Structures are given as structure tokens and as C-alpha cells.
Chain A
């Protein structure tokens, strides 16, 4: 059995389709592992019992999927890591969850996350921090830390998460797995509990690039329930490329210098060598406005969040504080006790940034920076096919190391936020170890270049042959 659980999800799906694997065994095996998880990766695991009926011919062929808590799942707790949604069970499924089910992937579990996806360590969860399977004294990254830890630990074959400023790519990097943030609009946001609407994007966290392509293909598409969704211009192909001949990689000076750990830089440089050996040209490039990305992001995302999170007021659902004197008191008590510190910090930042008299100086100016960053990337695409950076400036850090210093925590997203602001796709693949912990290598491409990006990442993945994941050791 453990052999089946060690397969990549794509291989498991192929096994089910070929009649060589029993999907019920797959289900029970992963369910048992998820229920026994010791990383606090899950906030809900499907109950023991009959496995969901699946169609063997479906593209995902019964390989169960772990889903980040903030995706609405009908009748199943969907709390976005927050106390304010304690016990909340939505009456509907998020579009992406519905699509995964339709493609044959049943819901295995809901994964832990930073509250409302605000964080880079999964320590900001009302349901306790998630631990990194590589070293349980360290964080898995965040905010999709539960999804990343579950896949890294082998307790889920694959998972989905969301990425607003790096929340898929950074935990994937810190847990030594693959994480893809697609082009903004590729996947419907309907049913994703919103953090920052103009940035939030769902995507896969998987054991390898092929799994990421397979899962992505099942999720993409325009959705009549999400006006900002557009889908992808062509179907997602399974990657097959084994070289990078003719591929031009740009390495932005602004994202590969100061602030990156030496061990991370060493792994990054080694990966660039691998790319060269595969036939790629590697040259420095400029993204002049990228150093301002974090500042712009921490105005735009909190501004949108301050409005998106206004609905959690105790009136209709979720947590409501007892003993309120009047309406205003009910609002303030509910939100005081329902939200965690980081969420409250960002609501205050965002409220301030949108205030009359400050709007132009903060939100307005941040939007201008965002436009400049998009233009930087557009200029880069004239000379390069992809941009390469380390995914995160460091390997997984110790629990509690950055909780007292929000700015230090925010710097985790230094290399991933520019792509989020530009709405372009980025993928993180494991490039090796530093101090025994995984390092992520990020490739980013133009909007809607997912197929080419997956192909390039697949070629690099094959050449690196990263084979140290905890789930492989468990097997």
C-alpha cells in the first residue's frame, strides 16, 4: 500500500485508470495518514467510512485532494484559519473545488493556513501553527502552509492553496515541493474566502511539476460567477520538455542580491548552471520598480482586505461576541475577539490607506507603482522568456522567530510579490538543500504562459533530480 501512496498523483491516477490501483485503497491510505498527521497540517479530515464514488475514467481518477481551509466546501467547515468563522459550514462549493470533484478528485481534507491568508508561516492560524515536516521546530511557510506540509509529509497526494503575494510559492519552497501561482484570472475565485481580490489566485501544491500541470488543468476556466476570470487561452498540457535550448532566462538584480541567504543564493546559482547545461542563456536583467513592490503590496492588499473582511460582523454567520450593549458594541467586540492580531493590523493599515485625504498618497500611489511593475515585466519579456529568482530569501525558519517582527515576516514575500502585482504566473520548484532544508527556485513568465512555464520547470526539475522529500523517506 505505501508504495501506491508514494507514487506521484499523476502516476496514481494512471494506475487507477489502468485498473492496477484500487481508488478505495488510495482513499483509505491517505485518509489514515491525514488523520494521523502530526504537523497540524489539517483542520478537517474526511470521516472514515465509504470512500466517495469516483469515475475511473475521470482525469484525476479518484486521487483525493487536500484543500486550503479558505475554499468554501459545502457542508464542511470553511473557516479561513479564523476564529471569526469558527464552525462556519458554507451552503455551496467553491468553483475550483467543484471542478476538482467533477474531474474525479474527492475532498480528502481541509488544510491549515494563516488567518485569511495573511502571513508567511502559518503561525497566524486560530487553529494552531502547522509544523514543517522537514523539521518540526520550523514553520512550513505560508499562508498555504497546511497544504504544503501535507504534500511534503506524504499525507496528501496533492493539494490546492491560494497565492496573494507568495502564499503558494513560498510554502512550497520551504517544504521542498512544487507550487504554482497561475495568471490572475486563470482560475475562478468564486468560493475562495477573499483576502485581496485583485491579487488572490488559486493554484496547485504538488510533489512534482507534472502533478501541478494535471491539477491546474482541472481547475482553470472562465466562470460566469467570477467576472474577473478568463481561463487560459489553450488547454494545459502535461510537460514533456527535457532541455532548455533557445530559452532566455533573465535574472533580475533587484531580487537576487541583498537580503537573500548565502545558502539560498548558492542553490540558486547552481540551478542557473543546470539551466545553462540544458541549453538556456542566462543573463542579468532589470526590474527597476521591483524593490517598491512590497511597499505597494502592503497598501493594496490591506486596503482590499479592510473592505473584504467588513462582512465578518457577527450579524449573519460565524462568531458573535456575547453581551453586547448595542449594534456598534456588537461589531467591535465580535471583531476584537474574532480576529487575530495580524488581521487586525492589516485591517487598520488598509482602512487608513483608503481614508479620505490619504487615498491618493497611499492607495492611489501604490496602484501607480503596480502599473510600473507590470511595465517592468513587459519590458523584460522583450528580451527574456522567463525570469528566474530564488522563491524565498531563506530556508524554513524556526517557529516564533519572526512573529514579533511583522516587517521581517513580510520580507519573506520579497521575491514573489512583484509577480502577484503584475498578475503573471510563477512556479516554485525545489532546487536542493541548504543546511538540510529545501530551497525553492522560482520561474515566472508572461501572462498566460503556463504551458511554456511548466515545460521549462519540468526540464529543470528533471535535471536537478531532487529526491529528498520526507514523503519519499517515509516510503
Chain B
């Protein structure tokens, strides 16, 4: 039985969140009435010429700098020629042999290149087939045509469907933090194709790859890649070859179907776009892009691990969601115990939902910090603190006042608690005997008695100390 290693590379298209289109002054739109965001340039009318969108270049440079790419001193736009109504000019202006950015890395995946291009128009095919062949009519909405796109191509550094999904999420949160795109897979501002092959584990040669398209959610991406790995392994184990082809993922069936075979491969007749001059970023453009870079999620997570001692998972949970990261930092502030702060922010997150904006909740960072401090100084125990948090979520307010009002303060080691502990030992003689015999776990019923009597306000550690003291241990 051979062990197989999947080898996966991703090709991601991201719609840039600029004000206007890539080569004309039309405003970007989503969901506007068809063909209302068009002009002579993006309709490809005779005589019109493209002009490169400076903001799209700025975003491209930001991405390149943030991801450690090499920025080309002079990159070139090319024409990719093909006849189809989704391109008004019957060619797409893209970058070919000299992209804006080369190399780079995000997390554990190396990047091959990043380039700029224009999006295609949207086609709707009227009729049963839903495809252009056999449709009664096809209508074109040029609103999307010319939207700035950036294509990111990775090296084949990914080795499982799960890793592909996780890495794409890292890319998504990174681009969102950069502010260059909405990165919404469902709305199509983030699109991902995958090149998948498998090889015997330990081999350094690449197997024949297939290209997977139309995986328009993170779940489908993972499912599609998983299905394709299984299909390829089954073929290879049966001694059959994998055929290089493009596969279309059908979310409803989870199946992959062949989109086009190599015989129909286009000859795009790429050549340098003569209507544009080479793109040569100036020092000022590079400095502006550098100055616009925020702290990125991966850096932020590393900082949380380093400075606050958070676990990898806790750090990512907060760092990948900027709103929660910001909130966490406001809570942690001067607190000595960042892990406790993270723990209580996660408690809040579980209560109000990850999608909510904590800054808009009734729980101010200051109030949550006070609660963390109360727990830390043992003036409130964990159980009582959770009830305080419930109150804060519902009504807001000051944790100290809630503790006071609801009588949730810890009963510290005074005579009152000693008396209750004595009563608990008396009521659980059997358990007490076992504890005396060295079985610490038998302490449970005694502690439970104390907690019932004190309505959970006693500090667990103090109760344990008193039990042992009274049992002469």
C-alpha cells in the first residue's frame, strides 16, 4: 500500500476595492442595475484607450510589500486575446511575463507571483442549459467588466485540503487587514482555483495536475480538493493515469466534471499592450505603499504569543479578526495576565457571537478588564464571574457594582467559611475518611457542599486548604 502525498497550488483572484475600474473612471458596483456602470472605455467602443488605475497599483504594491515579494522595476501589461462576449474588446488586459510582484511568502506557503488585470463582464444564459451552448439567448452585464483584479499564484507548497482552506483564510484576513479588498467568496470578490496532483510520499517529482474551478466557498474548496485527491489516488492505485484537465466543482453533488480538455486549449496570442506604457513604480509610490501597511494578522498573532503568552489557537482567534484583536488589546491593556484577558474575551465572544462587533456591545473593555482583575485577586471566583459577565452582556454596568448588588463576592478565609467547611466535613464523613486516607479526589462532595451553602461565592483553593487543615493533613 503506497502512501500518497497531495501537492496543491492555489490561484486566487481578488477584486480590488478601488473607487473606480482598472482602466476607466466608472465606479465599481455590486448589485446595481445591469449596464449602468459603463462608459465608452469599458464597453470597448472604437477609439477608446485604457489608463491604469493608480489606486489599484497602490494596492498591488501594498500586497507585494506586505507579502515580501520582489517588486518589478518595470512591469508590463499584455493583451490576452480570446473571443467571448464577457470581454468587450475581445481581449483582456493582464500581466504576463513581467508581473508587478514576484516571489514572496505568506505563512508556510511561498508565492509565485501577483499581477494586476481587469475582470470580465457577467454573462447570463437564458434557457434550460444555463450554459452558452443550447441557451435561447445570452445577455451581458458590463458593470463588472473592467473591475480591478489581482491574481495571486502560490507555489505548490500545500499538502492537504485542510491546509488549503486554512491558508486561504489567512490570505483572506491578511488582505482584509490591508484594506485592499472585501475578500468575500460568496459575492465573488475572492475566487480560488486549485491545481492538484498527488505523488508517492517521499517523491520529489510532481504528478500530473488537474485544475479545479468554481469552488465558491471555503467549505467547497476543502470538499473539492478532498474529492479530487481521492479521485486521483483511486486512479493511480488502479494503475490508470491522471489526465491533465480542468474540472468544474458542482456544489450540489460534490462531484467534479471535466470543463474542457487540452485539445481545446486556447492560443491567447499574448503580446505587450501597446496602449499602455510600462508600469514603473517610483520611490514615492513605494514609500506611500509602505506607509499604508498595517500590522498583518500573522504578525499580530505572533506578537500575542510573544508578548501575552497566548496559545497559538487563542492568538489566531483574536489576531485574525481585527475587531476582536483590537478589543482584546484594550482589555489586556495594563493587566499582568494576558492569557486571563484572552480567556474572558473568548467568553464574551461565545456569548455575543464571533460576527458581532465587541466594541458595539454593552461590555466595555474597561469593565471586562475590571472583571478579570476581580477574578485574579480572588475577590470573585470563576463561576460567579461568569454570572457577572452575563449581567454585563445584558445590561452593561460596572462589575464591582454587580458583585456588590448580587452578593457575588468571594467569601474569603474567615471564620464564616471555616464554620461551613466544618459542617461539610461532618455531613460527608465517608468522603472525609477517604481524603484522610490520601485520596484527594474524594474531596468533591465536601467542596460541593460548601459551594451550595455559599452559593458559589467561596474560593475553590481556599476551601481545599481549609478542608485539609481541618482534617489535620
Q: How far is the CB of A232 from chain B (nearest CB, A)?
A: 18
| Interface 9-mer from B26-34, B48-56, B392-400 | B48-56
Assembled-state Cα–Cα distance A197/B46 (Å): 12
Interface class of chain A by DSSP: loop
Are A311 and B89 touching (Cβ within 8 A)? yes
Assembled-state Cα–Cα distance A363/B270 (Å): 11
Interface flag for B85 (CB, 8 Å): yes
Q: In the complex, which residues of chain B have a beta carbon less than 8 angstroms from the beta carbon of A78?
A: 46-47
Q: A227-B277, A315-B85, A316-B88 are known contacts. Are A193 and B132 too (CB-CB below 8 A)? A: no
Q: How far is the CB of A92 from chain B (nearest CB, A)?
A: 6
Q: How far is the CB of B77 from chain A (nearest CB, A)?
A: 10
Assembled-state Cα–Cα distance A92/B41 (Å): 11
Interface flag for B304 (CB, 8 Å): no
Cβ 8 A contact of A331, one of B81, B83, B140:
B83
A-B contact count (CB 8 A): 101
Are B47 and A310 touching (Cβ within 8 A)? no
Central interface residue in B90, B91, B274, by most chain A CB within 10 Å: B274
Assembled-state Cα–Cα distance A395/B46 (Å): 33
Assembled-state Cα–Cα distance A196/B81 (Å): 15
Cβ 8 A contact of A192, one of B47, B52, B88, B138:
B47
Number of A interface residues at 8 Å Cβ cutoff, please give it. Answer: 44
Interface flag for A341 (CB, 8 Å): no
Q: How far is the CB of A338 from chain B (nearest CB, A)?
A: 13
Are A227 and B47 touching (Cβ within 8 A)? no
Q: A225-B51, A313-B90, A355-B267 are known contacts. Are A307 and B46 too (CB-CB below 8 A)? A: no
Are A193 and B40 touching (Cβ within 8 A)? no
Q: How far is the CB of B459 from chain A (nearest CB, A)?
A: 73
Q: In the complex, which residues of chain A have a beta carbon less than 8 angstroms from the beta carbon of B79?
A: 307
List A residues 87-101 near B (Cβ within 8 Å).
Answer: 88, 90-92, 94
Interface flag for A175 (CB, 8 Å): no
Interface flag for B275 (CB, 8 Å): yes
Cβ 8 A contact of A197, one of B52, B88, B267, B275:
B275
Q: In the complex, which residues of chain A have a beta carbon less than 8 angstroms from the beta carbon of B44?
A: 311, 316
Interface class of chain B by DSSP: loop
Are B90 and A91 touching (Cβ within 8 A)? no
List B residues 231-273 near A (Cβ within 8 Å).
Answer: 267, 269-271
Interface flag for B45 (CB, 8 Å): yes
Interface flag for B43 (CB, 8 Å): yes
List A residues 17-43 near B (Cβ within 8 Å).
Answer: none
Nearest-CB residue, chain A, relative to B134: A326
Are A227 and B275 touching (Cβ within 8 A)? yes
Q: Mark A68-108, 1 if CB is under 8 A from B, else 0.
A: 00111000001010000100101110100000000000000
Q: Mark A158-197, 1 if CB is under 8 A from B, else 0.
A: 0000000000000000000000000000000111111011
Nearest-CB residue, chain A, relative to B43: A316
Q: In the complex, which residues of chain B have a beta carbon less than 8 angstroms from the beta carbon of A94?
A: 47
List A residues 427-455 near B (Cβ within 8 Å).
Answer: none
Are B90 and A310 touching (Cβ within 8 A)? yes
Nearest-CB residue, chain A, relative to B40: A92
Interface flag for A8 (CB, 8 Å): no
Q: In the complex, which residues of chain B have a beta carbon less than 8 angstroms from the beta carbon of A228?
A: 49, 274-277
Q: In the complex, which residues of chain B have a beta carbon less than 8 angstroms from the beta carbon of A363?
A: 271
Are A227 and B48 touching (Cβ within 8 A)? no
Q: A78-B46, A327-B132 are known contacts. Are A227 and B89 too (CB-CB below 8 A)? A: no
Interface flag for A304 (CB, 8 Å): yes
Q: In the complex, which residues of chain B have a beta carbon less than 8 angstroms from the beta carbon of A351?
A: 269
Interface flag for A356 (CB, 8 Å): yes
Q: Mark A265-293, 1 if CB is under 8 A from B, else 0.
A: 00000000000000000000000000000
Q: In the complex, which residues of chain A have a beta carbon less than 8 angstroms from the beta carbon of B91?
A: 307, 310
List B residues 136-193 near A (Cβ within 8 Å).
Answer: 138, 140
Q: How far is the CB of A316 from chain B (nearest CB, A)?
A: 6
Central interface residue in A194, A198, A310, A331, by most chain B CB within 10 Å: A310
List A residues 182-229 near B (Cβ within 8 Å).
Answer: 189-194, 196-198, 224-228
Nearest-CB residue, chain B, relative to A224: B51
Listed by A's residue number, 8 A-B pairs whose Cβ atoms lie within 8 Å are A190-B48, A227-B277, A228-B49, A228-B275, A304-B274, A315-B85, A316-B44, A327-B85
18 new A-B contacts, CB < 8 A, other than A90-B40, A194-B46, A363-B271, are A72-B47, A91-B40, A190-B47, A190-B48, A192-B47, A194-B47, A194-B275, A197-B274, A198-B274, A224-B51, A225-B49, A227-B52, A227-B275, A310-B90, A315-B85, A317-B46, A331-B83, A354-B81
B interface residues (Cβ-Cβ under 8 A, vs A): 40, 43-52, 79, 81, 83, 85, 88-91, 132-133, 138, 140, 267, 269-271, 274-277
